[in-house]
């Protein structure tokens, strides 16, 4: 009896406490709604104006800035570079990360040391990474010194290279893989492969050892254990890794800024870089805002389905 009474007082208190609990998160909610959603809306509005000079001009321009961008050689190059960079960067990080995780998962001796070596670049700034890799890929030193020692007479030009392969023409744009991006992809993968390794490693550790052992006892080869037990179990983690790497790569800015800049004929340019340069160096605020809106749309296509899925799953639990 007494117990039932306490439970009901607690319940009555619950209603009031829910309001109090809302008040505790209210400051953060207001901050997020102003600084994220409010500012995004304002950026969206700016992208529809004529504010492309130092003097603020908020008169309506319709979609003129977007039309300008999609016809602009630099922005077209940026979109090509983003697609190429994102696909290759994700592929390298996921393959290398998975490979490292599988190697380390079976190893007990020296595992911590190796794991730390593969993961430490995550603690570095993209600026530091860019500054160092810029020297390593400088065509007159670094990697090319080693290649020359190995007898390569004609070493690659790395990020100075302006060639695009297979160089299909689509209007003024050269469609294909700009070879200069390879150096940037290597530097970015160097920095983030350890992250996918850590994700995969935590996934592999959560697969029970008995399951793997049982399969081995039944005569499965190591490849079959990997293909039919480990790989399916790692699917959700691979999905998360794609989302995380994808949104990093769509937003990439600092690494390119420090390592190569836009490059000749914009072979290493990215939307994030174009936005900052055109806005703050060229005072093309409306065009910068339009680039930012396009970046946001690209990231949202990746993130919103992911957030919706994650929260559906959580609520059904």
Partner 1 sequence: MIRNRIAPFFSNGILILLSVFFLLPVYVMVTTSLKPVSEATLAQMWELPSRIDLTSYGIAFEKLEPHLLNTLYLVIPATILSALLGSLNGYILSKWQFTGSNTLFALILFGMFIPYQSILIPLIQFLQKIQLYNTIPGLILVHVVYGIPITTLIFRNFYANIPREVVEAAQLDGNGIWGIYRRIILPLSISGFVVVGIWQFTQIWNEFLFAITITNTSQQPIMVALQNLSGSQIVQWNIQMAGALMAALPTLLVYIFLGKYFIRGLLAGSLKG
Binding mask 102-121 for partner 1 (x = CB under 8 A): -xx-xx--x---x-xxxxxx
Please report, as residue ranges, which positions from 207 to 266 form the binding site for partner 1 (by CB under 8 A).
237, 240-241, 244, 247, 250-251, 253-254, 257-258
If one asks whether residue 92 binds partner 1 (CB under 8 A), the answer comes out as no
Contact with partner 1 (CB under 8 A) among 63, 71, 122, 231: 122
Rounded CA separation 157/294 (Å): 32
Which residues, other chains included, contact 223 with Cβ-Cβ below 8 Å and sequence gap of 6+? Answer: none
Q: How many CB atoms lie within 10 A of CB 69?
A: 23
If one asks whether residue 315 binds partner 1 (CB under 8 A), the answer comes out as yes
Rounded CA separation 255/156 (Å): 21
Cβ contact 291:275 at 8 Å = yes
Count interface residues toward partner 1 (CB under 8 A).
99
Nearest distance in Å: CB 211, partner 1? 20
In the complex with partner 1, the residue whose CB is nearer, 59 or 140, is 140
Rounded CA separation 28/307 (Å): 19
Please report, as residue ranges, which positions from 3 to 32 form the binding site for partner 1 (by CB under 8 A).
6, 10, 13, 17-22, 24-25, 27-29, 31-32
In the complex with partner 1, the residue whose CB is nearer, 21 or 224, is 21
Secondary structure (3-state) at 176? strand
Please report, as residue ranges, which positions from 156 to 215 form the binding site for partner 1 (by CB under 8 A).
190, 194-195, 198-199, 202
If one asks whether residue 292 binds partner 1 (CB under 8 A), the answer comes out as yes
Please report, as residue ranges, which positions from 28 to 87 form the binding site for partner 1 (by CB under 8 A).
28-29, 31-32, 35-40, 42-43, 46
Cβ contact 302:243 at 8 Å = yes
Residue 133 exposed, middle or buried by CB count within 10 Å (0-12, 13-18, 19+): buried
Q: Dump the DSSP string for 36-70.
A: IIIHHHHHHHHTTB---SSS----B-TTHHHHHHH
Secondary structure (3-state) at 175? strand
In the complex with partner 1, the residue whose CB is nearer, 72 or 254, is 254
If one asks whether residue 267 binds partner 1 (CB under 8 A), the answer comes out as no
Contact with partner 1 (CB under 8 A) among 134, 249, 260, 268: 134
Rounded CA separation 24/246 (Å): 34
């Amino acid at each position: 009896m007494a117990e039932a009474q306490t439970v009901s007082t607690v319940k009555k208190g619950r209603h009031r406490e829910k309001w109090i609990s809302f008040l505790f998160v209210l400051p953060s909610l207001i901050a997020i709604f102003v600084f994220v959603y409010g500012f995004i809306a304002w950026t969206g509005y700016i992208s529809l104006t004529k504010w492309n000079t130092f003097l603020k001009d908020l008169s309506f321009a319709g979609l003129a800035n977007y039309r300008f961008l999609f016809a602009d050689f630099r922005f077209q190059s940026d979109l090509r570079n983003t697609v190429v960079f994102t696909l290759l960067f994700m592929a390298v990080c996921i393959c290398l990360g998975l490979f490292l995780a599988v190697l380390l998962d079976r190893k007990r001796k020296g595992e911590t040391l190796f794991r730390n070596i593969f993961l430490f670049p995550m603690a570095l700034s993209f600026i530091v990474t860019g500054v160092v890799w810029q020297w390593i890929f400088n065509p007159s030193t670094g990697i090319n010194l080693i290649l020359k020692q190995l007898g390569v007479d004609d070493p690659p030009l790395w990020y100075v290279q302006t060639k695009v392969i297979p160089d299909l023409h689509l209007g003024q744009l050269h469609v294909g893989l700009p070879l200069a991006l390879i150096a940037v992809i290597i530097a970015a993968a160097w920095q983030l492969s350890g992250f996918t390794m850590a994700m995969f490693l935590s996934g592999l550790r959560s697969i029970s050892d008995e399951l793997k052992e049982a399969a081995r006892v039944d005569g499965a080869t190591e490849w079959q254990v990997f293909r039919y037990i480990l790989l399916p179990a790692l699917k959700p983690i691979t999905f998360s890794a794609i989302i995380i790497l994808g949104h990093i790569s769509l937003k990439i800015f600092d690494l390119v800024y420090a390592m190569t800049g836009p490059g000749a004929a914009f072979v290493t340019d990215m939307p994030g870089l174009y936005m900052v340069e055109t806005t703050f160096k060229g005072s093309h605020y409306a065009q910068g805002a339009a680039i930012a809106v396009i970046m946001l749309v690209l990231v949202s296509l990746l993130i919103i389905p992911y957030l919706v899925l994650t929260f559906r799953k959580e609520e059904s639990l």
